[in-house]
Chains A and B, each alone.
Chain A
Amino acid sequence: MSKPDVTAHSLPPRLHPLPLRIMHWINALAIFIMIGSGWKIYNDDVIFGFLHFPDWLVIGKWAQYGLQWHFFGMWIFVLNGLAYISYGIATGRFRRKLFPISVREVFATIGEALRFHLRHDDLTHYNAVQKVLYLGIMLVGILIVISGLALWKPIQFSELAGLFGSFQTIRLVHFLCMSAILAFILVHVTLALLVPQSLVAMVTGGPIVDEGQRQAAPAAPEIEATP
């Protein structure tokens, strides 16, 4: 009757709490669907004459399948993204992990990276470049949704579409956001493979977060106590 709730209280908090890990991998799947099907849609009317994505690389054999996947994946991407941003703000995770960002530190980190002196033994702390990139990619994620909305409904949301100028400009912005996400993924995945414990951490939760550090952090949330 008075059995203690083990899961909620006795397990120590980890670097990546379970909800965050779930959202990370759902996002990975959504991005995969969106980029693969987006390339299929792009191929029907290319923006750059030299760029045509090979058939084996795209999702959807015919145009309608690419479109079906894209307008299915958008719900996963947007709903999961909203959940992630709400979680990051509500738990104080964004504030803790991504701020403050010092410009001086950004340059210092770039210098260290170029001299191969970058330390990555502490997964729980993001360096300044990581902070800039994670924050930047979130802004790109928001912009790709906004430009996507303007592309999908240029008349119903004509006020929004008007901010971009022409319809083709919206396509270009949407495409460039995809390119930025792709570049981010290349760096992100490369580094995750170079520092395999970071990849493992996104599956298992990673190192236990130091209690003192946790208490020092502003607004340490209840929810992070659930691994």
Chain B
Amino acid sequence: MSIRFPIAAILRPHKTLGRSPTKRLAVDDINRRGLIRGAASLGALGLLTGCDVSEEPPVQSLLRTVSAWNDGVQETILRPSHLAPTFSPSQVVKPPRFNAYYDIEDVKPVDGATWKLELVGRIDNKQPWTAQQLYQLPEQEVIIRHVCVEGWDYIGQWSGPNLRDFLHRVGADLTAKYVYFICSDDYTESIDMASALHPQTILATKYAGDVITDPFGYPLRLRTSIKLGYKNAKWIKAIEVSNDFRETFWSKQGFNWFAGI
């Protein structure tokens, strides 16, 4: 038995800086279960443990196997150079909608002056990059739809170095299978190489023409038109090119790894 978090509330964009929906939901959960189980409880931690059939090991094993099969299906149907529809600057939502596994007020800003991008794995030139160096690279702008796994979407205007160009520049092995993004907030995400090389996959440094602000990933984040929102890692501190598959922040918790759209 393990403690599970109310993921639904965590992924939700928070427009207001009010009371944490995450904490509120957990409290509601305790109240509801408390009513069912009565006062003689196992304590707050016990009350938060799941009792869903989905969590039963054989069921979860089946569901995860199907999810992994769906990764393969998505890889097969991916059209590597098919472009996502783009939009006009007038359709752009400002500021972008916040999403992370915690609330916007809990964002820990990254110091751009001391920050460095580390390069790991199958990359020839592992020399770290400063923000200044990165911000001098040629920029590509994409005005694309952000689709969250929860169902909401918005049009965002992102710019920064194209990831394929960057990987090429640092001598990454473009035949490797995965590109990992290790983040300052202990978040990790990885995408398949075909998606990394997609023409609309960029290392975003700007939103609507201005340097991205702290909650949205300053100084460097991923923005790709062909993945769900949670694959777009923010506050990137290292990029790793590898052939080894490792579970990432959300896939460990049962969300689909490929998460293509």
Chain A positions near chain B (C-beta within 8 angstroms): 41-45, 55, 59-65, 67-69, 71-72, 75, 152-156, 158, 162, 167-168, 171
The answer to whether B79 and A156 have CB atoms under 8 Å apart is yes
**B contact residues around A68 at 8 Å (CB):** 54, 63-64, 66-67, 254
Give residues in B with beta carbon < 8 Å to A. Answer: 4-8, 11-12, 32, 50-52, 54-55, 62-64, 66-67, 70, 74, 77-79, 82, 84-85, 145, 147-153, 225-226, 250, 253-256, 260-261
Residue in chain B with minimal CB distance to A72? B66
Contact A60 B52 (CB under 8 A): yes
Q: Is the interface of A mostly helix, strand, loop or mixed?
A: helix
Nearest chain B residue, comparing its CB with the CB of A42:
B151
Most buried by B among A67, A69, A153, A155: A155
Residues in chain B near residue A155, CB distance under 8 A: 82, 84-85, 225-226, 260-261
Q: CA separation between A48 and B127, bound complex, in Å?
A: 51
**Contacting pair A71 B256 (CB below 8 A):** yes
Residues of A within 8 A of B254 (CB): 62, 64-65, 67-68
Residue of B nearest to A71 (CB): B70
| Residues B82 and A44 in contact, CB atoms below 8 Å apart | no
Minimal beta-carbon separation of A168 from chain B (angstroms): 7
Report 9 cross-chain contacts, Cβ distance below 8 Å, ordered by A residue.
A44-B12, A45-B148, A62-B50, A68-B66, A155-B84, A155-B260, A155-B261, A167-B145, A171-B151
- Give me the 9 closest cross-chain CB pairs, A-B, nearest first: A61-B52, A64-B254, A65-B54, A45-B151, A44-B150, A68-B63, A45-B150, A72-B66, A63-B8
A72 to B66, CA, bound (A): 6
Residues of A within 8 A of B50 (CB): 61-62
**What is the distance, in angstroms, from A169's C-beta to the closest C-beta of chain B?**
11
Cβ B63 vs Cβ A72 within 8 A: yes
Q: Whole-angstrom distance from the CB of A226 to the nearest CB of chain B?
A: 31
A41 to B256, CA, bound (A): 14
Q: How far is the CA of A67 from the CA of B150 in the complex (A)?
A: 10
Q: A156-B260, A162-B85 are in contact. Are A67 and B147 (CB under 8 A)?
A: no
Smallest Cβ-Cβ distance to A161: which chain B residue: B85
In contact, A156 and B63 (Cβ under 8 angstroms) = no
Q: How far is the CB of A64 from chain B (nearest CB, A)?
A: 4
CA distance in complex: A155, B198 (Å): 12
Distance of B68 from chain A, by nearest CB (Å): 11
**From residue B261, how far is it (CB to closest CB) to chain A in Å?**
5
B5 nearest in chain A by CB position? A62
| Chain B residues closer than 8 Å to A71, beta-carbon distance | 66-67, 70, 256
Nearest B residue (CB) for A61: B52
Residues from chain A with Cβ under 8 Å of B11 in the complex: 44, 63
